[in-house]
Amino acid sequence: MSIKQNIKTLIVEKPLKLDCGQTINNFPLAYETYGSLNNEKDNAILVFHALTGDQFVTGINPVTKKDGWWSYAVGSGKSIDTDKYFVICANVIGGCMGSFGPGHENPKTKKIYGTDFPVITINDMVNAQINLLDFFGIKKLFSVVGGSMGGMQVLQFISNYPYKAKTAIPIACTSSHSAQNIAFNELGRQAIAADHNWSDGDYNLKNIVPDKGLAVARMAAHITYLSKKGLQEKFGRKLQERDDLKFGFDADFQIESYLRYQGSVFVDRFDANSYLYITRAMDYFDLVKQFNGNLSDAFKNTKAKFFIISFTSDWLYPTQENKDIVIALNAVGANVGFVEIESDKGHDSFLLNVPDFLKALKNFLDKSYAEKHS
Amino acid sequence: MKPEYKIISDLIEKDAKVLDVGCDDGTLMEFLKTNKNANIRGIEISKEKVQTCIAKGLTVIEGNAEFDLKQFPNDSFEYVVLGQTLQAFINPETVIKELLRVGKKAIVTIPNFGHWKVRLNLLFKGTMPITNSLPHDWYNTPNIHMCTIKDFVRFSKIINFKIFKSLALINENVSDINNSNLIFKNLFGELGIFLIEK
Tell me, yes or no, whether A349 and A220 share the same domain: no
Residues of A designated as active site: 148, 314, 347
Tell me, yes or no, whether A159 and A190 share the same domain: no
Determine contact, residues A23/A36, Cβ cutoff 8 Å: no
How is chain B classified by DSSP, letter by letter? Answer: --THHHHHHHHS-TT-EEEEET-TTSHHHHHHHHHH--EEEEEES-HHHHHHHHHTT-EEEE--HHHHGGGSPTT-EEEEEEES-GGGSS-HHHHHHHHHHHEEEEEEEEE-TTSHHHHHIIIII-S----SS--S-TTT-S--S---HHHHHHHHHHTT-EEEEEEEEETTEEEE--TTTHHHHHHH-SEEEEEEE-
**What string of pLDDT tens digits covers the 198 residues of chain B?**
888 999 999 999 999 999 999 999 999 999 999 999 999 999 999 999 999 999 999 999 999 988 999 999 999 999 999 999 999 999 999 999 999 999 999 999 999 999 999 999 999 999 999 988 789 999 999 999 999 999 999 999 999 999 999 999 999 999 999 999 999 999 999 999 999 999
Tell me, yes or no, whether A29 and A149 share the same domain: yes
- The confidence score (pLDDT) of residue A2 equals 46
How is A120-150 classified by DSSP, letter by letter? Answer: --HHHHHHHHTHHHHHHT-SSEEEEEEETHH
The partner residue sitting opposite A340, judged by closest CB among B54, B55, B62, is: B62
Which CATH number is A120's domain given? Answer: 3.40.50.1820
Alpha-carbon distances of B121 from A372, B114, B142, B148, B192, rounded to whole Å: 53, 11, 19, 15, 20
- The confidence score (pLDDT) of residue A374 equals 59
CA distance A251 to chain B (A): 40
Determine contact, residues A11/A28, Cβ cutoff 8 Å: yes
**Dist. CA A321–CA A98, nearest whole Å:** 32
**Contact B61/A342, CB-based, under 8 Å?**
no
- The confidence score (pLDDT) of residue A295 equals 97
A340-349 core/surface letters (b: 16 or more CB in 10 A; e: else): bbebbbbbbb
Tell me, yes or no, whether A225 and A328 share the same domain: no
Last residue of a domain, one of A231, A254, A279: A279
- The confidence score (pLDDT) of residue B119 equals 96
State the sign of the Cα–Cα–Cα–Cα dihedral A205, A218, A56, A42. negative
Determine contact, residues B26/B61, Cβ cutoff 8 Å: no
Q: Which residues of chain A have a pLDDT value below 50?
A: 1-2
B194 reaches A (C-beta below 8 A)? no
**Dist. CA A326–CA A289, nearest whole Å:** 17
Tell me, yes or no, whether A304 and A164 share the same domain: yes
Tell me, yes or no, whether A211 and A236 share the same domain: yes
Helix (H, G, I), strand (E, B) or coil at A355: helix
CA angle A225, A227, A231 (to 5 degrees): 105
B 65-104 residues inside an 8 A Cβ radius of A: 71-73, 76
A337 reaches B (C-beta below 8 A)? yes
- The confidence score (pLDDT) of residue A5 equals 64
Strand partners, B197: B105, B162
**Dist. CA A205–CA B131, nearest whole Å:** 81
CA angle A270, A276, A280 (to 5 degrees): 130
Last residue of a domain, one of A223, A247, A279: A279
What are φ and ψ of residue A84, in 5° steps? -115, -40
- The confidence score (pLDDT) of residue A6 equals 73
Tell me, yes or no, whether A109 and A257 share the same domain: no
CA angle A68, A72, A74 (to 5 degrees): 75
- The confidence score (pLDDT) of residue B131 equals 86
The 10s digit of each residue's pLDDT in A128-172 is 999 999 999 999 999 999 999 999 999 999 999 999 999 999 999
Tell me, yes or no, whether A21 and A158 share the same domain: yes
The partner residue sitting opposite A337, judged by closest CB among B59, B71, B72, is: B59
What are φ and ψ of residue B32, in 5° steps? -70, -30
The 10s digit of each residue's pLDDT in A264-288 is 999 999 999 999 999 999 999 999 9
**Dist. CA B195–CA B162, nearest whole Å:** 9
- The confidence score (pLDDT) of residue B54 equals 97
Q: ipTM of the assembly? A: 0.92
Tell me, yes or no, whether A259 and A292 share the same domain: no
- The confidence score (pLDDT) of residue B132 equals 82
Last residue of a domain, one of A238, A256, A279: A279
Which CATH number is A259's domain given? Answer: 1.10.1740.110
Eight-class DSSP state of A171: E
The partner residue sitting opposite A360, judged by closest CB among B54, B72, B73, is: B54
Q: CA nearest A61: which of A286, A265, A362?
A: A265
CA angle A289, A292, A296 (to 5 degrees): 90
Q: Is A275 exposed, middle or buried (0-12, 13-18, 19+ CB in 10 A)?
A: buried
B47 reaches A (C-beta below 8 A)? yes
- The confidence score (pLDDT) of residue A3 equals 55
CA angle B50, B51, B53 (to 5 degrees): 65
The 10s digit of each residue's pLDDT in A62-73 is 999 999 999 999
Tell me, yes or no, whether A88 and A206 share the same domain: no
Determine contact, residues A347/A317, Cβ cutoff 8 Å: yes
pTM of the predicted protein model:
0.95
Reduce the secondary structure of A90-104 to three states and give it as a string: ECCCCCCCCCCCCCC
**Dist. CA A132–CA A136, nearest whole Å:** 6
- Domains annotated on chain B, with CATH: 4-197 (3.40.50.150)
Count of structural domains within chain A = 2
Query: Which chain A residue shows the shortest CA-CA distance from B70?
Result: A327
- pLDDT over 70, % of chain A: 98
**Contact A363/B47, CB-based, under 8 Å?**
no
Residue A260 is part of which domain span?
182-279
Tell me, yes or no, whether A268 and A160 share the same domain: no
Tell me, yes or no, whether A165 and A201 share the same domain: no
From chain B, the residues in CB contact with A360 under 8 A are 51, 54
Query: Which chain B residue shows the shortest CA-CA distance from A308?
Result: B61
